[in-house]
Amino acid sequence: MNDDVIVDLQHVTKRFAGHTAVRDLSLRVPRGSVYGLLGPNGAGKTTSIRMVMNIIAPDEGAIRLFDLRESGQDLSRRIGYLPEERGLYKKMRVLDLLVFLAETKGVDRKSAKRQARQWIEELGLGDWVLKRVNDLSKGMQQKVQFIATVLHEPELLILDEPFSGFDPVNTQIMKDVVVRLARNGTTVLFSTHIMEQAEKLCDSVCIIAKGSKVLDGRLAEIKREHGGRTVTIAVDGGVDALHAILEDGSLVAKADRYPQYAEVELVAGASPQTLLEAIVRQRLQVRRFEAGEASLHKIFVDLVGKDAATPRAEEDRHHA
């Protein structure tokens, strides 16, 4: 076993009454990486993360953190966890709450206080230190929750849908902090169903659907393998004007149509150049022509299928 694997899941399976939430899932989060656990709602992301935190136990398989035998609770000093279900003690004062939560992770009272004050200042909550959580706006409560996650300078950050429920300003603040921490060597494991965010932040991903792994690896490699021959085209007249070209089986293997543009996968042997020539021959006014990698979203949709990729109505929240 390799010391540079921070989170290691081996053939993990979890069943709930009636269905299997996670099936034979193996993944490795290398030290220092930003690792995205991607999948539609109900794919088993939260269940997987809860098993990593030892909040629920897997039925089969093994989970190791930092290549140690200890469980999540014993290693809480080294882990920062932001659950999908956010919540704080409403009646506690901000500082007391942050110090308490840090203490439950094993930080001593004195340094917990010092660090809490530091973070509170940094995120602009200075005037609210002695206020009760209840008196804070929703956005400020989100900041407090985030501080509680990173306060003890964990080596491993586990964030479950970190960008859902946060307002745009806080999302940006949080992203900046996460990026900064990652640059300083913190390993980040986060789950999301929003591919654009994963694409911006991750260097490795694991895509799961219906409890099983579909694909994992470094993001750059995945893109090279799965989307090397993609062209994005936009012309005057919208996607309808492109109809003839998109139907041309000698050029186009697959096309995703959006009102203003199309994402095109070329057949083997065809080059972007031939495609451009065909467009020019049709006398279409080109507004955008971009050859390159497919977006993660496209890869995800191709692999998982459109049905699975579309967020479903929240079902069985606690099983998700």
Q: Which range touches another protein (CB under 8 A), out of 32-40, 83-91, 195-203, 206-214?
A: 83-91
Residue 137 as a binder of another protein (CB under 8 A): the answer is: no
The two structure tokens encoding residue 113:
């206080």
Question: In this complex, which beta carbon is closest to another protein, that of residue 92 or of residue 276?
Answer: 92
Residue 317 as a binder of another protein (CB under 8 A): the answer is: yes
Select the residue interacting with another protein from 105, 213, 223, 226 (CB under 8 A). 105
Binding string, 24-53, against another protein, x = CB under 8 A? --------------------------x--x
Question: In this complex, which beta carbon is closest to another protein, that of residue 86 or of residue 210?
Answer: 86
Q: Determine phi and psi for 297, rounding to 5 degrees.
A: -60, -40
262: left (phi over 0), alpha (psi -120 to 50) or beta: beta
With H, G, I as helix, E, B as strand and everything else as coil, classify residue 157. Answer: strand
Q: Rounded to whole angstroms, how far apart are CA atoms 247 and 255? A: 9
Select the residue interacting with another protein from 33, 48, 76, 295 (CB under 8 A). 76
Alpha helices in 22-93 (DSSP H): 45-52
Residue 9 as a binder of another protein (CB under 8 A): the answer is: no
Alpha-carbon distance values, 229 to 103, 220, 257, 265 (Å): 52, 14, 16, 6
101: enclosing H helix or E strand: helix 94-104
Residues 254-273 that bind another protein (CB under 8 A): none
Select the residue interacting with another protein from 60, 67, 70, 85 (CB under 8 A). 85
Question: In this complex, which beta carbon is closest to another protein, that of residue 158 or of residue 208?
Answer: 158
Alpha-carbon distance values, 188 to 29, 82, 202, 286 (Å): 9, 11, 9, 41
Residues that bind another protein (CB under 8 A): 17, 50, 53, 55-57, 72-73, 76, 79, 81, 83, 85-92, 96, 100-101, 103-106, 148, 317-318
